[in-house]
Structure 1
Amino acid sequence: MKAPEKFRKVFGSITHLKDEISWTTGLSNMVEFVTWSPQSILGIKKKQFVNQIIDWALHDDMQGKELIEIQNEIGNKLNHIMSETEQLDRYAKQTTGICNAREALRRLKYFSEDYVNKEFDIFLNLCSDNYLNKFYEQYTPVIADSCWSTHGNSGVFAYSTELKAMQMDNLAYNHQANLLVANELKLNGSKNADQILKYCLMYEALVDKGFINKDAKYVLLFIGGSSLKHDKQTLIEHELAYCRRKPEKYQHLLRSELLDVVNHIEIASMTWAEFIEFNDNYLRDNMVCQVEEKLIKGFNQSLQSKSFMHA
């Protein structure tokens, strides 16, 4: 049994983007991220960590010592390194090296883009349809009182769609409005050199596999430290020129069929400061229940605490 089949058998799957995912899946997605990224806990890659332990154990100083002595000495070395890498300044830029649990949490909570992605998944899944309507109305017409389903980059999504060519951050889908919005989150970094084309490839695959309608409207929204500096045509031209420099590597992004999606996609961007401002205005202008108010205020507070907001 292959990995996708194993995952679907244990954790379930979706057959269409209109399928709703429980917000609690966002918590399992966070665990999934940690288990597949042990560097986020250890401070270095697992292979590096194992090799370091082996190097210490085989060092000349360890020759002739009992197992318990070797374990104690290695434990002392680890404790020493972890005490040296721990930062007590929340925004200290030191974010590498073997670390203890507190330091691992600091690096994730304030510096990790993957961590922000998972927080955003849970936030968007819990937001009301009214919030999502008003949020995306900034960029495209949305049918009033329509319903949304949202999907993070999880095993459920990856193994249901079996998309292998790219990794997305978050999708918001409105079946009634026949609208797909891809949310690409950045901290202070810029978009990848081939990112729009890859999102076009994802749209093409979702249509081919029956997860969305062929004529679904498509918006790619970048949220980051700064807005995009060019219009869609310029951005696409830059990406095509980049891929043409390595045609063998990027032939899947240079197919003529993909140009139909390129012409179809709409590109938008906003900053995190603008996102927070939208949330504040939404709370001021709408009658919201206490739960949604806490949700939005809490996410704003989390965003405002991130290192990229204090750069």
Structure 2
Amino acid sequence: MTSASARFRNIFGQMNHLKEEISWTKGLSNLADFLVWNPQSVLGVSKKQYVRQIIEWSLDPAIQDKTFEQIEKIVNAKLALQMDMAEQAETYALKNKGICNAREAVRRLVYFSEDYLNKEFDIFLSLASDNYMDSLYSQFTQFNKGGAWSTHGNSNLFTFSTELFEMGMDNLAYNHTQKVLIANELKLNGGKNKDQILKYAFMLKSLIAKGFVDEDTRLVLIFISGKHEKYEKTMLIDEEINFCQKNERKFHQLLREDVIDIAREMEIYNMSWRDIMEFNKQYMNDNKLCQVEQKLLKGFNESLSKKSFIHLGLNKLE
């Protein structure tokens, strides 16, 4: 029996190197992929919970003497009632638990979902110019400008091409000519995971071994979150090592000396989503942009300004 990776590659193709340019339309495909594989984002509950609820309603002893059509009508009425109860009338109202209708599902995704923001960021970055990428990332690390950038979101194309099943990265921006790999780790208000730096170090090691990036590629990890945080790299890595050592059997790959060495050489930075918005405004002021790129930057800023985690107290950007 062929593997899932082989079946995917046979249908959708594959990439062989991170320098390959991925079309922005792949970002739309990744969004559809996210919705299909995460039905809770559409239903409001997991598919298992949804099915169990329908079965429970249909097995109610009070309706066992009804016809199929009558039971179907009763279950549909219960479903409609629960969806009505879950729906909120205000944009930033807290989310109710339970099955929801399509309008409520979209509200939760657009204004509250980190996964949805990740997909927006993937499409945004795939459409941004090389000059924009040079300007954005030169704030943090040194490289010669003028090279070509390629970007990759967390997708089945990336996973089944690289076969890095244990690595849930958010977004990668790669400059092949300068041998710089930027890992954009996107957060709302949450902090980093307890093994995140070591996982990215393991990812770079694996990408080099599999020939997806050159051996002398350096990794820059940028946390983009709802607030500014100061990172002391040595302390963070030591904390991650201590955490992984408590379950060495599970994290043994992250505790390899060559992985830890990569982590210690990695550059780590932080910027907020407000920083992104301010950078976009300044970039538009400082550069003579074509209409398409102006629309791209304005549109992303507008979407960010409406997210629940930064909406309060923030005026809508022009």
TM-score range, shorter chain: over 0.9
Identical counterparts, % of pairs:
52
**Deviation of 1:237 (Å):** 1.3
* TM-score (normalizing by structure 2): 0.96
Q: For the residues of structure 2 that align with 1:23 and 1:274, how far apart are their CA atoms? A: 24
Q: 1:69-124: per-residue Cα shift (whole Å, max 9, x none)?
A: 11000000000000010001111112531000000000000010000000000000
Residue by residue over 1:27-60, the C-alpha shift from the partner in whole angstroms, topping out at 9 and shown as x without a partner, is 0000000000000000000000000111111111
Give the letter for the 1:143 counterpart: N
State the 1:310 CA deviation: 3.0
Partner of 2:74: 73
- Matching residue of 1:39: 40
- With 226-235 and 65-74 compared, the bigger mean Cα shift is at 226-235
Aligned to 1:267: 268
Amino acid in the other structure paired with 2:14: S
Q: What does residue 198 of structure 1 align with?
A: 199
**Aligned equivalent of 1:153:** 154
- Aligned pairs for 1:155-194 within 5 A: 155-194=156-195
Output the CA distance in 1 between the equivalents of 2:241 and 2:159. Answer: 26
Residue correspondence of structure 1 range 202-241 to structure 2 within 5 A: 202-241=203-242
User: For 1:98-154, what per-residue CA distance to the aligned partner results, in whole angstroms no more than 9, with x for missing partners?
Assistant: 000000000000010000000000000000000000000011112221110000011
CA offsets, 1:213-250, max 9 Å, x none? 11112100000012233311111111111112222222
What residue ranges of structure 1 are gaps of 5+ in the alignment? none
RMSD: 1.0
- SS of equivalent residue, structure 2 residue 24: coil
* Counterpart for residue 316 of structure 2: none
Query: 1:195, CA displacement in angstroms?
Result: 0.6
What amino acid is aligned across from residue 165 of structure 1 in structure 2? E
Question: Cα deviation per residue 1:241-277 (whole Å; 9 max; x = unaligned)?
Answer: 1112222222221112212211221101101111111
Query: Deviation of residue 23 (structure 1)?
Result: 0.5
Aligned pairs for 1:1-311 (under 5 A) are 1-310=2-311
In the alignment, the residues of structure 2 paired with residue 66 and residue 13 of structure 1 have an alpha-carbon distance, to the nearest angstrom, of 51
Structure-2 change in CA distance of 1:149 and 1:11 (3 Å): same
CA contact (8 A) 2:87 2:96 kept: no
Aligned residues: 311
Contact 1:86–1:103 (8 Å) recurs in 2: yes
